[in-house]
Amino acid sequence: MYTGWMHNPQKINGEFSGVSTEVIVERITTAVLEQRLPLGAKLGEEKLCAAFGVSRTKVRQALNRLARSKLVVLKPRRGAFLAEPTHEEARQIFQARWVIESEIFEQFTKSATEADLAALERHNEAERRAIESNDAPLRNRLLGTFHVRIAEMVGNKVLAEIVTDLVTRSSLITLLLQSAQAASCSSDDHRMLIEAFRARKVPLVRKLLHEHLDYVERNLADIESRRREFDLVDALRDPAGDRRRTRAATQKRMKAKLASVP
């Protein structure tokens, strides 16, 4: 585990003095989502108290809330640590998703109604709004439930439950490891899948699904790069500014793929 906190009391106290439990939770969560804290990092109570200028009681409240959301693991007599999913865990989950979802998506391609497709388009638009507003927890949930909604539309409750479980298990992994740019690419993949559904191109749907899940898994594979020394103040800063992305290349790629499959 990594405990490489670097300390600058004057800067810390000036920025964070007297913050609420909610702010502590938000700052730590944001630092995790934006990959400014390494996996498995120890969140020492004393150092968090110094960083935020608050009591141990408030820090413990924040850590307990983070533990309930599975972002933090509380270990008896050792303290609080950021969650630390493994590459092997991610690989197995996404392999299972491919096996199950490929069949579901093929069924959906054949049976989807215009109302189903319109609902998916609205869902995809909600993904884009969450990404553009930098709402990482919401974007993560919407990107996962896109797959669940398709399973539900197929009408097999057992398969829908299995997909829901797999998506839930993979959601924490993507929440911890997926960058905003990768999330944007995933949403673009969903848009291409909707177009392939509408075109009733089963081979293309299977190809896009495989590439989509493979891309997400590969994006999560560089777990070792998240194990590093880090600066406390830098990690807990409140980044300003909107992230702007261009989608021209994605739209060109979508048209090319739709045209390439009969």
Which of 126, 177, 181, 182 has its CA nearest to residue 149? 126
The answer to whether residue 66 scores a pLDDT higher than 80 is: yes
Six-digit token pair at 105?
């998506």
Q: Measure the CA–CA gap between 149 and 160, rounded to whole angstroms.
A: 8
Confidence of residue 58 (pLDDT cuts 50, 70, 90): very high
Which of 66, 77, 75, 13 has its CA nearest to residue 175? 66
Same domain, 112 and 217: yes
pLDDT at 34: 60
The answer to whether residue 165 scores a pLDDT higher than 70 is: yes
Same domain, 91 and 215: yes
Q: Residue 154: inside a domain, yes or no? A: yes
Six-digit token pair at 181?
């740019």
Q: Measure the CA–CA gap between 200 and 117, rounded to whole angstroms.
A: 12
Of residues 207 and 89, more confidence is placed in 207
| R_g of the chain, CA atoms, integer Å | 20
Same domain, 127 and 240: no
pLDDT at 85: 74
Same domain, 165 and 177: yes
Give the distance, in angstroms, between the CA of residue 184 and the centroid of all CA atoms in the same chain: 11
CATH of residue 141: 1.20.120.530
Q: Residue 126: inside a domain, yes or no? A: yes
Q: Residue 21: inside a domain, yes or no? A: yes
Q: Measure the CA–CA gap between 2 and 4, rounded to whole angstroms.
A: 6
Q: Residue 177: inside a domain, yes or no? A: yes
Q: Measure the CA–CA gap between 7 and 232, rounded to whole angstroms.
A: 7
pLDDT at 248: 58
pLDDT at 215: 83
Q: Measure the CA–CA gap between 166 and 148, rounded to whole angstroms.
A: 10
Same domain, 94 and 187: yes
Q: Residue 255: inside a domain, yes or no? A: no
Of residues 16 and 211, more confidence is placed in 211
pLDDT at 107: 96
Q: Measure the CA–CA gap between 129 and 135, rounded to whole angstroms.
A: 9
Other beta carbons within 10 Å of 14: 11
Six-digit token pair at 49?
């108290």
Same domain, 126 and 26: no
pLDDT at 203: 96
Whole-model pTM over 0.75: no
CATH of residue 33: 1.10.10.10
Q: Residue 102: inside a domain, yes or no? A: yes
Alpha helices in the chain (DSSP H): 9-16, 21-33, 45-52, 56-68, 87-111, 114-132, 136-154, 157-177, 180-199, 202-220, 232-235, 248-260
Model confidence pLDDT, tens digit, residues 189-238? 999 999 999 999 999 999 999 999 888 877 765 555 555 455 544 566 65
Same domain, 15 and 126: no
Same domain, 18 and 58: yes
Which of 102, 129, 92 has its CA nearest to residue 193? 102
Model confidence pLDDT, tens digit, residues 109-164? 999 999 999 999 999 999 999 999 988 778 888 998 999 999 999 999 999 989 98
Work out how many domains the chain is built from and give that number: 2
- Cα of first residue to Cα of last residue in the chain, in angstroms, is 51
Same domain, 116 and 233: no
Q: Residue 51: inside a domain, yes or no? A: yes
Q: Measure the CA–CA gap between 219 and 216, rounded to whole angstroms.
A: 5
Same domain, 94 and 191: yes
Six-digit token pair at 43?
């969140």
Confidence of residue 2 (pLDDT cuts 50, 70, 90): very low
The answer to whether residue 93 scores a pLDDT higher than 90 is: no
Same domain, 80 and 91: no
Q: Which domain holds residue 188?
A: 87-221
Give the CA dihedral 179, 183, 189, 195, nearest 10 degrees: -160
Same domain, 164 and 240: no
Q: Residue 257: inside a domain, yes or no? A: no
Longest dimension (CA), the chain: 64
